[in-house]
Structure 1
Amino acid sequence: MSGPETTPAASVTVRALVARGSGAELRIERVRLPAPGPGEVRVTITAAGVCHSDLSMANGTLAARFPLVLGHEATGVVAATGPGVELAVGTPVVLNWAPACRACWWCRRGEPWLCAATTAPTVPRGETDDGVPLHLTLGLGALAEAVVVPERAVIPIPAGLPPEQAALLGCAVLTGVGAVGNTARVAPGESVAVVGLGGVGLAVLAAARRAGATTILAVDVAEAKRDLALAAGATDFLLSDDRLSKEIRARTEGRGVDHAFECVGRAATIRAAWRLTRRGGAVTVVGMGAKDDMVSLGALDIFHSARTLRSSVYGSSDPDREVPVLAAALADGALDLGVLVSGTVGLDEAPTAFDRLARGEGARWVVTLDSASGRNGVVGLRGGC
């Protein structure tokens, strides 16, 4: 097919990556989206990242409703608008999976990342081609040729940005940069350990380097992540094994790091990050885990270590303000996200990107869509990791 097909009712039929149930095979299907209503826009997607949260939706780690269109990290162009929309057709945008209402208690006190109106994990919208009610990941369902979303769920960006990098601004990059700058507030000269080197973990490494951290230790179970970690900004790479705590302390004068970032979302790696941190240091949990994966810490350890354990939701960020800043840095060359993109695939090959993600290969795999030529992006895998 040659891009989205408009029906007489002004809804659209598009191709999308759909999960029919927990653990089910991911398939490309035709789905029907409604026309933009008041305050809504239709965005033609140009690139969408494959995020671990999408995998957690598909495999049942996070509660989801099916059938489900996956994807929440994307960039595209406004293709149509509903009544009352200010954005013009043709505006390039990044999708925002947690648009703030600006009116609730959390928004009024300057914490829009905790907005009471934040979208549920899955939101009903549209239907499959066989008439089954459809759900969208985080209200977006961005691994598709197009989405229909509220205007406040899109953020204008400069034209001409590399789409495979611009897509990452909406989740991996904003989350990682915000975790370092907003949540942990890493200062020049401090030491950092990052546990888990997917797209978010690598973004944390890069942000720590930009923040002036002098010792930046990257930790993962896969030796194949070493080169990626060093390219992203790590001063050293360590395998996660029984010697990890000893190795970390050997590089921090016996103390442990000032800041540990957990970017996996598992109880075991949260405990590991806790052990890597010095007395009085801080552990920031960035990874989203399962509700029944319980973290156990000793009461005396908590008291004696004087460590802080906290989470960073969406980088404790305000996307409406911070994404344009990151986009401007990407536009002028001050920010290079190329190291985060392990390769691009077309929409038809998106399931293979999820397979690679599940195996822990690479950083971020990005699905690219070429609407102008009527084809989804040509497969362009770069390297094995």
Structure 2
Amino acid sequence: MNKSKTYKVLHIGKYHPPFMGGIENFMADLMMQQVADGYNVSAIVHHHQKGKSYVEEVDKGVKIFRVPCFGQLAYAPISPSFGLYLNKIIKEQQPEILHLHMPNLSAFWCLLLASAMKIPWVIHWHADVIGSVPDMKIKLLYPFYRFFESRLLKQTQKIIATSPVYLSSSLPLQKYKKKTQIIPLGLSQYGAKVSVDETSNIGCEKDDVLKLLMVGRLTYYKGHSLIIEAIARLKSQGKTLKLNIVGTGELLNEIESDIEKFGLIQDVHLLGKLSDEDLVSEMQQCDLLCLPSIERTEAFGVVLLEAMRESKACLVSDVPGSGMSWVVKQDETGFVVKHGDVDDLVAKLTDILNNMHLLDDYAIAGFQRFSKQFSIEQVSHRVSSLYRELHSDRIF
């Protein structure tokens, strides 16, 4: 990387680890890599638990400012004091770039603060607020959100979209394609169990049990009910599949009910929230990471990178406008099924059971694709190039 110029960067995000989320994991890895690249990096985020006081801390060289949060409204953290803290932090840290991770209601404070308006911005567009099947609360509140969202997009100098597929389908970004660049999400290599040179050693004996893993919030768009029904159908045909589900969320009771209804108590296990170490262990023990999401609220799927990093094949759905089937290459690094289609999911899992040897081939290809395109070092390099463009285009 050309280190001739580095910057003081303030990231504005929703949360930060130990909160578990794809965007949060990516943001943490990006900031850690930026520190390694010589940047002065800080981040202002919300506490992910109510009732916590403002705190400043350092995590792996990154200064983290956690602002009190009083709950959520339509999945958005409510923090009336965020603007006051943001103004204070900008004056203290004197960042040269604001890196806004969207969607994030609190990022709108940038429009109201003179201190923020003096600094060039980058908007990292992780997802649209409105999905193809929007939650009713979000649908009702979005017109108010959109007023500020459009002004934020107009004001920013650069926008990052995470895949060409998502950019082409995102209505809010259509007016701003000229200042948008495609930079995929990425992760550090720390969890990888093999290097590219060692992938020939990945093969192992497989039994007749297909071990599946799902990781993510227990929420409406993830497709838990589809895969549970598919497993039930295959079990009735004498096939043996095991599914471990990692995560917590509002659909816990509904998913438990589905497991009981289909008689899968011995076949499907809810593991709840896991530590990073335990999650890596689950990844390493599974045969296939499944993300059968039903709509483009699943904009990218960072968990796919986590699986590819651990040399695991992935199964995703072909949701129009989602980056999932761009991250996972059909019949190369994994499998793509029709979104919302249990019949196609059953057929695909049947094919996998009949061709278990493909899992190793796809695992090797997935790890190689991760190393070449989704390592955080390469992603950070591309973000740095965008920063330099941002400053070269701006007149101070």
Structure 2 length normalisation: TM-score? 0.27
**Structure 1 length normalisation: TM-score?**
0.27
Higher relative contact order (CA 8 A, sep 6+): 1
Q: Which one has the bigger helix percentage?
A: 2
